Amino acid sequence: MAFSDATRSLFAGTLQEIQDKGLFKEKRFIRSPQGAEIEVEYPEGAATARALNFCANNYLGLSNHPEVVAAAHAGLDARGYGMSSVRFICGTQDIHRELQDRLTEFLGTEATLLFPSCLDANAGVFEAVLGAEDVIIADRLIHASLVDGIRLCPAQYDTFKHMDMKHLRKKLELHADKRTRMIVTDGVFSMDGDLAPLDEIVALGEEFDAMILLDDSHASGFIGRTGRGTHEHFDAIGKIDLITTTLGKALGGASGGCVSGRAELVELCRQKARPYLFSNSLSPVITAASLKVLDLVMSTTERRDKLEANTLRFRQGITAAGLNVREGVTPIVPVMTYNAKLANDMARDMYAEGIYVIGFSFPVVPAGAARIRVQLSAAHEPEHVDRCVAAFAKVGEKYGVIGLDKKGIIEKYGM
């Protein structure tokens, strides 16, 4: 028997260790389309309950927007369901080209290449573009998929302390002898919701002749005056050499990603990036629906403006209620508990109050920095936001964390 009892108990033991540390991820099921109000089966097997959803990346409320759904139906009828091919063999339709061109226009770049996901874009871009003579200098809190992509690339890898521009400068000085330098950062960091200081990064890039790769997955569609992303917010459109982003968050929420930027770099990805060469094409359904998403996003700022208003309302409300939150401007609002069990317990009680949120702990965030991450959406109405704040006030009261700062919470619950 290949999977012997001894082998099975080895893996069962690993799972038990995850359980014992309180880090086991429970299964959660949703029985409705994605939206502000969802139907949830939780715990597994329980009767369906309605809840307000505050943990989706559905920032613009487009995941189940009627016009997007209609465009998906029309795309299905016009171009079929699947491509059964990678892009370069027979997996590229005219609508893939059209979507790339629209993304180029939206992001203000020179060229764009679609990937099955942004994880795939990040997995492919570094190895396609850089070699052993080059250096990658990345923020220490970049997304896991960037770290994985960097691991696959022979370039030297160095890091700078999170958003620490003095440290980045030092590293750029240190690596002045390399053939090229590439600075890598997220635009909006997914766990803290903080914005990379892209204006300063661009200035350093110019000073030290370093390219910049920006992963704008948590920004594309809603950060910046017209929602183009972090580079718009910092008035740096046209100054970012590579942008990777996802269609799986604000921009419709299905799946798909891209590399967008300097024409030569994007062409190198088309020639060499392994997920482009060896993984299947984005489905025509998603491609057609994504074109509609870009139409909606580029024709009006109504949704990103509503998201901004909801974010402000929540941030003001939750702060006034006395919960411990990280300050910021993005729709990612971490309600800090520091202690992992407290995050899970409070999230469970929030669910009992009809608010669907999740506790995040190590390894998704650093140990001792557990939190409930709240995400606002343009799909929320002001009264949804108020109900979420009220539930936090009630649950926070139950656990005695109202008005406590970091030190106070840690004294009471430990890390």
Ligand X SMILES: *Cc1c(COP(=O)(O)O)cnc(C)c1O
Instruction: Count how many Cα atoms sit within 13 Å of the Cα of residue 77 in the half-sphere of its side chain.
Output: 6
Name the residue nearer to ligand X (CB basis): 236 or 404: 236
Name the residue nearer to ligand X (CB basis): 128 or 346: 128
Which residue in 225, 186, 211 sits closest to 261, CA to CA? Answer: 211
Annotation says 65 is catalytic: no
Annotation says 190 is catalytic: yes
Name the residue nearer to ligand X (CB basis): 104 or 190: 190
Annotation says 162 is catalytic: no
C-beta separation of 148 from 123 below 8 A = yes
The single-letter DSSP state of residue 244 is E
The nearest distance, CB 320 to ligand X, in angstroms, is 29
Phi, psi of 38 (to 5 degrees): -125, 165
The nearest distance, CB 305 to ligand X, in angstroms, is 23
The nearest distance, CB 33 to ligand X, in angstroms, is 18
The single-letter DSSP state of residue 164 is -
The nearest distance, CB 257 to ligand X, in angstroms, is 4
Cis peptide before 363 (omega within 30 of 0): yes
Name the residue nearer to ligand X (CB basis): 217 or 311: 217
What gap in Å lies between CA 51 and CA 354, rounded to an integer? 5
CA angle 152, 154, 158 (to 5 degrees): 90
What gap in Å lies between CA 61 and CA 36, rounded to an integer? 8
Identified catalytic residue from 63, 117, 145, 190: 190
Lay out the sheet containing 37-41: strands in order across: 29-30, 37-41, 49-53, 355-356
Sign of the Cα torsion 138, 229, 30, 326 reads positive
Phi, psi of 287 (to 5 degrees): -60, -45
Name the residue nearer to ligand X (CB basis): 61 or 253: 253
Identified catalytic residue from 143, 175, 218, 239: 218
The nearest distance, CB 220 to ligand X, in angstroms, is 10
Identified catalytic residue from 65, 96, 249, 292: 249
Which residues make up the interface to ligand X (CB under 6 A)? Answer: 117-119, 122, 143, 145, 186, 190, 215, 217-218, 246, 248, 257
Positions marked active-site: 190, 218, 249
